[in-house]
Amino acid sequence: MNQPVTRTTLMLGFSRIKTMALIGLSCGVQLVCSQNLSEDAAKGLEIIKGRTGQCVLCHQIPNNPSPMGNLGPSLQGVAKRMDAATLRARLADERSVNPQTIMPPYFSLQNLSELDPSLEGKTILSREEFESVMSYLLQLN
Ligand code: HEC
């Protein structure tokens, strides 16, 4: 269980420069840029791929050239599989669906343990970041 996470984490860090180079290239040939994301959804995508959300540690997302983990289901078409309210509730706190989940509760202060004192009283995503991630997820349909 620990092994793949560690390896993925390393690969994610390692591939950052490569990813930036790829995105630069792809924009030139209209590959990644042709996703036509709204400004807010594009912000959400950065959170999903980056250190704030780290969603790609566990989830595959469409059109992402960098390595992704598969501890959770692919997020491709997720907005087709559930309505916005369900998606919102699950992103805020997946424990509402599965109390044993390994997915972090991104917008909850309930029942958190072993919390770094500097995180006391803070959600993982700010309200604005949460809404940006929702914008990205809602266009995966
Ligand atoms: C540590 C691993 C992990 C991380 C990080 C993670 N998830 Fe998950 N996620 C899961 C797992 C595992 C499931 C499967 C259901 C469960 O465990 O309850 C899941 C389920 C989901 C679902 C429901 C999908 C479906 O088709 O049922 C969504 C949506 C989702 N995650 C979005 C996200 C987003 C967005 C992020 C980042 C902000 C994220 N997850 C970060 C592990 C993770």
Confidence (pLDDT) at 27: 46
Nearest 5 degrees, angle CA 133-CA 10-CA 54? Answer: 10
User: Which residues, 6+ apart, have CB-to-CB distance to 131 below 8 Å?
Assistant: 40
In the chain, where are the structural domains located?
A: 2-138
pTM of the model: 0.81
C-beta 53 within 6 A of ligand 1:
yes
User: Which residues, 6+ apart, have CB-to-CB distance to 117 below 8 Å?
Assistant: none
Number of C-beta neighbours around residue 23 at 10 A:
17
Q: How far is the CA of 27 from the centre of ligand 1 (A)?
A: 28
Calpha distance 20→107 (Å, rounded) = 28
35-45 residue pLDDT tens: 689 999 999 99
97-132 residue pLDDT tens: 999 999 999 999 998 888 788 888 999 999 999 999
Locate tokens 């469409």: which residue?
62
Q: How far is the CA of 95 from the centre of ligand 1 (A)?
A: 10
Q: Is the pLDDT of residue 62 over 70?
A: yes
The domain 2-138: what is its CATH number?
A: 1.10.760.10
Q: Is the pLDDT of residue 18 over 70?
A: no
Residue 1: pLDDT band with limits 50, 70, 90: very low
Confidence (pLDDT) at 7: 53
